[in-house]
Structure 1
Amino acid sequence: MAEERPSLTDRVANGAFLAIMALARALPYERRIPAIGWLFSRVLAPLARWRGRIRDNLALARPDLPEAEIEALVRAVPDNAGRSLAEIYAGEAFTARIHAADPLEGPGLPALEEAFEANRPVILACAHFGNYDAMRAALSGRGWPVGALYRPMNNEAFNRHYVPAMSAIAEPLFPRGRAGLTAMLRFLRGGGWLALGFDQFDREGAELRFFDLPTKTVLTPAELALRYDALVVPIAGIRQPDGLSFRVHVGAPIPRGTPAEMMQALNDDLEMLVRRHMDQWFWVHRRWK
């Protein structure tokens, strides 16, 4: 069966992205990453109407913020998103920096070391915060078996280079869908470590709390952990003030309980992290509906 050709709109958007990245690659790494961040903050965010969504979410979750801080976040959140995408496409220049720094830290790190020695499966509970791929690079740099579930992009032309770029940071990757799910569960049963996001609205999820607001939260990370006796740890790549380096913080393991109790604990942990680094969570998502 012939592969369906991407639409003209998708091909044009993809071509524009590749042209921008090609120009950016002419810059040294230390200038390239902030340059793409600036482009996202000053050009893409207004065009994509991200600024309005950020303001709407902040009005719900942090109505106490002064206007000056809101305005700063409206610019900083897209900047972090742009930097993160540029880092994915930086390839070895990005992963080599992470591997050399070995930035893993936090109260959950000894538990990860024990899980590796025992060949115990691990659920790495992560969010759209800082740079998700800094975490994958840091773990793979130690030779630890980190895999991830991902949602293929709607733009198939973009997806054709996006997936190889992510794969170059760490493998395996599992696309959402039946085949990906089967391979993912086989990996987890064999002692693999699976990175799963939990911070987006899930229509089929349980109604839990985040920033003391009700929101539907996926239960899958906790359910898989209970089914396969996997360790559950919150983990995040926290961008440092220089805008280029990271701390990869491994939180304390989540105690076993009901899936809802475990996911609420993860929501609470993420909320504390976001409150400390408001500019690093992707406030563009429609987390509350």
Structure 2
Amino acid sequence: MKKIILLSVSAVLLLSSCVSKKEFTALEAKQKETQDLLNTATVKLNSCLEDKSAANARVVALQEQLANLKDTNKDLMESTKDMTVLTTKGAENLEKSLESLKEKDLKISRLQDALTKKDSVTLALVTSLKKEVGLNDPDIEINVEKSVVFISLSDKLLFKSGSYIITPKANQILSKVATVINSKPDFEAMVEGHTDNVPYSKGVLIDNWDLSVKRSTAIVRALQGLGVNPAQLIAAGRADYIPLVDNSTAENRATNRRTKILILPKIDQFYEMIESEMKNLSEE
């Protein structure tokens, strides 16, 4: 650029020595016009160079954004694939869980049916016992406890104080109980002897354990003598360890001295009934 200016000045000097003042003035004006055009072009060039630099910077930034978007898109595609796999597995697991729940619900329904049948038998048994034994004696209780039918007999109906010899009145009651047990060959009868907490100190027995067991075996033998299948009978003694009331008074001790006869479904037959229901379920 400096060279061009020097050449222009030199040309003007040379021409000024060869041309008139008027011509020189015209050339000088032309030179000024040319210089202005050159300055304008220079400014535009610099502006274009700045615009180009800014444009290049924007291109670089856009290329980086494009690369980031491509990476993000790739990650999203991978995540979508993983989610698809997880969703498919989740649906399969949910379906399996629902099938399992249906099977469990059906099994529970089967068990409930079995228990309902047992409850129906229990209700029929209570009705039969109450009909045979009667309800007028306050010393005889017939009830259901935890799905088990039981007859509770007061001690004064069965034994004298401290004795395990059955009274004649007891035989009358036990004959009615025997009738019911004989009508239920698929059931068992467990005889529980209970005492108060007064220590036993008579005869050859050691303590209330001995007395409670001896009384239950006496009842078992009486029922056997009344025609009950001995395979259905169980003798058990609880001594004074399960009182109905505290032993603080004579009346309460009399309440605790009792014999309890539990009418039980045979456990193996009950489980066979449940297993049969389960077998029917698995075959469906």
TM range (shorter): under 0.3
Q: TM-score, normalised by structure 1?
A: 0.22
> Quick check: which one's helix share is greater?
2
The structure showing larger relative contact order (alpha-carbon pairs under 8 Å, at least 6 residues apart) is 1
